[in-house]
Amino acid sequence: MLRLYERSPRWAVPLAALGCVAVGMAYALVSNPTHADPDAAPSCLLKLTTGLDCPGCGGTRALWYVLHGDLPAAARHHFLFVFALPFLAYLFVAWAGSQAFGWRLPELRISSKVIGAFLGAWLAFSVLRNLPWAPFTSLYV
């Protein structure tokens, strides 16, 4: 495997990663997760077994709305995903540009404290969206 990696062109890995991202975006566009049957079983194993929204619940719908330019609706389905998307996109472009073309974009330095705070906010969001009383019921998706 290492020999194959060493012999492959330097743009192959970023292109493969971009292909994976494109497949995910195409799935969101084709499946249109915003129009599911009312009696359809949840596709998430956690939601199916417990009835609770998982930490990523609403992410596919949020991606669908982002791809259609409706940021308020996307944020309604998963605010933290919409918040993190520009940072993830920049990190990917900086990494892929460096790997494939040797670009030297300014490095986005994210401290471990910021990452910990974001993960803590994600955990709090995941818990709060499952609480059965107002105002938290507005976070149901």
- For 11-34, the DSSP string reads THHHHHHHHHHHHHHHHHHHH-TT
Q: Is residue 46 part of a domain?
A: no
Question: End-to-end CA distance of the chain, in Å?
Answer: 43
The answer, yes or no, to whether the previous bond of 135 is cis (omega within 30 of 0) is yes
Q: Is residue 38 part of a domain?
A: no
Confidence (pLDDT) at 117: 94
Q: Is residue 43 part of a domain?
A: no
Q: Is residue 21 part of a domain?
A: yes
129 has pLDDT over 60: yes
- Residue appearing with tokens 């990696």: 5
Q: Is residue 64 part of a domain?
A: yes
Q: Is residue 6 part of a domain?
A: no
116 has pLDDT over 90: yes
| Rounded distance between C-alpha atoms, residue 131 and residue 141, angstroms | 13
Residue type, position 71, single letter: L
Nearest to 94 by CA among 103, 84, 83: 103
Residue 23, domain extent: 13-33+53-139
Average pLDDT (91-103) is 88
pLDDT above 90 coverage of the chain, percent: 24
Confidence (pLDDT) at 112: 94
Q: Is residue 74 part of a domain?
A: yes
- Residue that wins the pLDDT comparison between 140 and 65: 65
Mean pLDDT of the chain: 84
Count of structural domains within the chain: 1
